[in-house]
């Protein structure tokens, strides 16, 4: 991975305020989610935090491989990180009665922090590009 790639992606993620996450279940069905927090903590790792839906969490528990996309549609610049979940932590729980959620059969939500080891970094954009790892 080219020096500075993770730093550039971290700056872009901070500027945009979100990242997209692609997971798949044990039959290969894809699922997309968004994270409002994406940062690079330790070398070669991404930290994502959000109130992820149960499908995202279930997919990661069965299949820890995922893709994380940081992309600015205005400039059409971005990165795709291919990696594997190392850790998932619950950081907050909804606590209390929320009538609208209860009536709709809602489920308890938890904010989670994902620690992802990055194996590969690819360019991501709408324009023509190669899926070649950033050298």
pLDDT for residue 32 is more than 90: yes
pLDDT for residue 100 is more than 80: no
Give the number of domains in the chain.
1
**Looking up tokens 């059969």, which residue turns up?**
105
pTM reported for the whole predicted model = 0.82
Using a 10 angstrom Cβ sphere, with 0-12 exposed, 13-18 middle and 19 or more buried, the burial of residue 70 is: buried
Q: Is 14 a member of any domain?
A: yes
Domain that holds residue 25: 5-123
Q: Is 135 a member of any domain?
A: no
What is the domain-level CATH number for residue 23? Answer: 2.30.110.10
Predicted local confidence at residue 103, as pLDDT: 54
pLDDT for residue 82 is more than 80: yes
Predicted local confidence at residue 60, as pLDDT: 97
């Amino acid at each position: 991975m080219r020096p500075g790639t993770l730093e550039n992606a971290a700056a872009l993620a901070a500027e945009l305020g979100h990242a997209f996450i692609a997971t798949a279940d044990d039959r290969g069905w894809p699922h997309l989610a968004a994270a409002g927090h994406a940062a690079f903590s330790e070398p070669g790792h991404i930290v994502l935090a959000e109130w992820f839906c149960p499908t995202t969490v279930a997919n990661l528990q069965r299949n820890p491989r995922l893709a994380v996309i940081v992309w600015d549609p205005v400039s059409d610049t971005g990165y795709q990180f291919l990696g594997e979940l190392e850790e998932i932590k619950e950081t907050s729980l909804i606590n209390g009665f929320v009538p609208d959620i209860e009536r709709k059969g809602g489920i308890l939500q938890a904010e989670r922090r994902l620690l992802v080891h990055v194996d590969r970094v690819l360019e991501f954009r709408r324009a023509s590009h190669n899926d070649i790892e950033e050298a």
